[in-house]
């Protein structure tokens, strides 16, 4: 039987330091009315806490309002797009 000897660690030594994530939007983006309707059917299989979450999701046509889906003013779109 052959044996292998590893004399140095395998893998990366220097890992990149991650920057903290910044919020792109002030509010949750609304989901479509059709998706909201489907989630209302499926939430019966969830815990009470999860059901409350799905009940309160912002959605098109919910409470007569729709949240704006624009990025925060301090963010520029070019930061998130690359020219690769």
Q: Give residue 64's pLDDT band: very low, low, confident or very high (50, 70, 90).
A: very low
The rounded distance, in Å, linking the Cα atoms of 33 and 57 is 11
**Structural domain contains residue 84:** no
Q: Tell me if 62 sits within 8 A of 26, measured CB to CB.
A: no
> What is the Cα–Cα distance from 64 to 58, expressed in whole angstroms?
11
Q: How many separate domains does the chain show?
A: 1
Q: Looking at the domain assignment, is residue 77 inside a domain?
A: no
pTM of the model: 0.51
Q: Quick: pLDDT tens for 6-36.
A: 677 666 666 778 889 999 999 889 999 999 9
Looking at the chain, the whole-number percentage of residues with pLDDT higher than 90 is 43
At 4 the pLDDT is 73
- pLDDT at 45 > cutoff 90: yes
Closest CA relative to residue 66, chosen from 28, 40, 23: 28
For residue 56, the enclosing domain spans: 26-68
């Amino acid at each position: 039987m052959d044996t292998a000897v590893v004399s140095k660690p395998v893998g990366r030594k220097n890992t990149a330091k991650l920057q903290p994530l910044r919020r792109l939007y002030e509010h949750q983006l609304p989901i479509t009315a059709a998706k909201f309707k489907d989630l209302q059917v499926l939430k019966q299989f969830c815990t009470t806490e999860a059901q409350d979450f799905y009940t309160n999701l912002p959605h098109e046509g919910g409470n007569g309002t729709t949240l704006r889906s624009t990025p925060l003013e301090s963010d520029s779109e070019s930061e998130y797009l690359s020219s690769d």
